[in-house]
A and B are shown apart, each in its own frame.
Chain A
């Protein structure tokens, strides 16, 4: 019997990308996607279920569909996307309900993959050059997003201890760049001049969006369990990343940086406080553990920056080429379930 996979956050960038990839896999029988919003990408056989943001419906879905794998891509790691209270609901309460559903008696879940972020390590002058999975952050978490991710990881740990028969993989990603993803980080690299903090040129690590999806698939298929850092090889100064993108840097003052970042918000580049700290001290995460488990990266840090800027240049010329897709419930139901549609087998 093939795999039955539940993807949380189907309407998000990562959920959609992952579901598309899972549909290609003949070993995956069923893909179920859960989200508060409709999918943004064209999907062939994924079943979309609308839920509220803290997933109270989840335990019913798990017991009704008998999924064996849950992939939690719904964690918000970009604080500009949502407000404080919603963030708490989605990240903390959502994860709590997810694990409550996965650990009910008779649960068929055997694999859980959680997409977290290297934000849990923070960024401070005291940091080691490379954080390993066992390291903890050196300065207290000040922003709500970091605190909520730390709480989420606490639930993941508890679940892994209480359910030793389940493979739990917790993936911490460094900053993602790629042709399609839009984050405050990628938006600042698309400005005519890239913001930096005066007098600082931090070492940063990037991961390409394809490697993000591939690493999620790797953990789903190979049942790797434990905590894994995911980031491309190499650390690059921020000035060099800007240089790869062919942009000059425009320094923000090192005192009152937050205030100086305000005008950028008018250009739609909302630089969150955790990114401003990163632009001072940078961060490197040791990716060797996932490599030892058998994963190979397609992109280095510099390669991810190069691939990103090539896609940006192409898009600047030919426009946004992602085909216009609108989810329509009736249409999707027709193609999946109507007896009028001729299906193979």
Chain B
């Protein structure tokens, strides 16, 4: 026979409702990966460097001049000429600096990459960032990183073989404005060899339009290797020359800078790279052996 509950135990009959939970202590940041805010992963980069090293050392046999002109710390904007249907210069520059100096390099590029499945993700994991003033400012000014930019944009790699080593227009000089605002030097870089690694013979605008891509090239590699040629490079000898850093005597963080000054500086950077290219080409005896 069940006994009636004693008066002192009456509380036990009240339906149990859990006491209000005290505000929990904030948790430690439980990160599982090493992907940074830009989407770059050092682990992925290191894997990519391992895979790319034979190509860098044995195929292109990349040689640098004056790499010491790139600052060992602090932000700097690397500005280079851009070539080859599937640009081979960006990986070479990024690989070289990361291996030699142990500094990450972020590659600023068109937002087109982000909208391509798989490619866009791999691109971001390997240091690709949308070329956008706010992004560049944050990288250079606030985080003191190295950023690589090709002011020619797609006009560089899209040009055909008969126009090789002739620099296109350097955009609207946005890269100069960013360097001014971020208060960092511009390091011009001249690359010889990329043009011959995948020369464009002709462009097919109709296919590019249908695929929604910036340009569709017919390359010499395609004629030589068939379908594989859309990815396989010729073993052109790479020489990369780092030019004197360009600094601007204007205060950083201004809302705007003189447009004529920007255009003037952009043109002078373009000139210096163009002259360095002509100089390097005068000294080059062979496309394949330098």
Q: Footprint of B on A, CB under 8 Å? A: 125-130, 132, 135, 197-201, 203, 210, 234-237, 239-240, 243-244, 254, 280-281, 284, 298-300, 302-303, 305-307, 321, 323
Contacts and interface: CB of A to CB of B under 8 A. Distances in A.
Nearest to A205: B37
B33 A129 contact: no
28 contacts: A125-B111, A129-B129, A129-B132, A130-B138, A198-B118, A199-B116, A199-B119, A199-B120, A199-B121, A200-B121, A203-B35, A234-B29, A234-B31, A236-B31, A237-B33, A240-B31, A243-B32, A244-B32, A254-B117, A280-B115, A281-B114, A284-B37, A300-B29, A302-B30, A302-B31, A303-B27, A305-B30, A307-B27
B130 interface: yes
Interface stretch (B17-25, B171-179, B208-216, B268-276): B17-25
A240 B33 contact: yes
Contacts of A127: 130, 132
Contacts of B64: none
Given A127-B132, A203-B37, A300-B29, 18 more contacts: A125-B130, A126-B130, A128-B135, A129-B37, A129-B134, A130-B134, A198-B117, A200-B121, A210-B23, A234-B31, A234-B37, A240-B32, A244-B32, A302-B31, A303-B27, A303-B28, A307-B27, A323-B18
Contacts of A201: 121
B188 to A, nearest CB: 26
B112 A125 contact: yes
B118 to A, nearest CB: 4
A302 B29 contact: yes
B115 A125 contact: yes
What interface size band does chain B fall in?
Answer: 20 to 34
Contacts, number: 90
Interface in B1-59: 17-18, 23-24, 26-33, 35, 37-39
B39 A237 contact: yes
Nearest to B24: A307
Contacts of B24: 307
A301 B56 CA distance: 38
Contacts of A323: 17-18
B17, B23, B30 — which one has the most chain A CB atoms within 10 A of its CB? B30
Interface string B114-150: 1111111100000001101011001000000000000
A302 B34 CA distance: 12
A303 to B, nearest CB: 4
A321 B30 contact: no
Contact of A199 (B28, B111, B118): B118
Contacts of B112: 125
Contacts of B117: 197-200, 254
Contacts of B132: 126-129
B35 A236 contact: yes
Interface of B: 17-18, 23-24, 26-33, 35, 37-39, 111-112, 114-121, 129-130, 132, 134-135, 138
Contacts of B26: 298-299, 303
A281 B28 CA distance: 27
A199 B122 CA distance: 9
Contacts of B111: 125-126
A95 B114 CA distance: 36
Contacts of A284: 37
A281 B116 CA distance: 11
B134 A128 contact: yes
Nearest to A300: B29
A302 to B, nearest CB: 5
Contacts of A298: 23, 26
Contacts of A236: 31, 33, 35
A244 B135 contact: no
A239 B121 CA distance: 11
Nearest to A239: B33
A240 B35 contact: yes
Closest 7 CB pairs of A and B: A199-B117, A125-B114, A199-B118, A128-B134, A125-B111, A125-B115, A298-B26
B23 A299 contact: no
A45 B148 CA distance: 60
Contacts of B115: 125, 280-281
Nearest to B39: A203
A303 B37 contact: no
B112 to A, nearest CB: 7
A127 B138 CA distance: 14
B7 to A, nearest CB: 23
Contacts of A235: 37
Nearest to A251: B117
A57 to B, nearest CB: 33
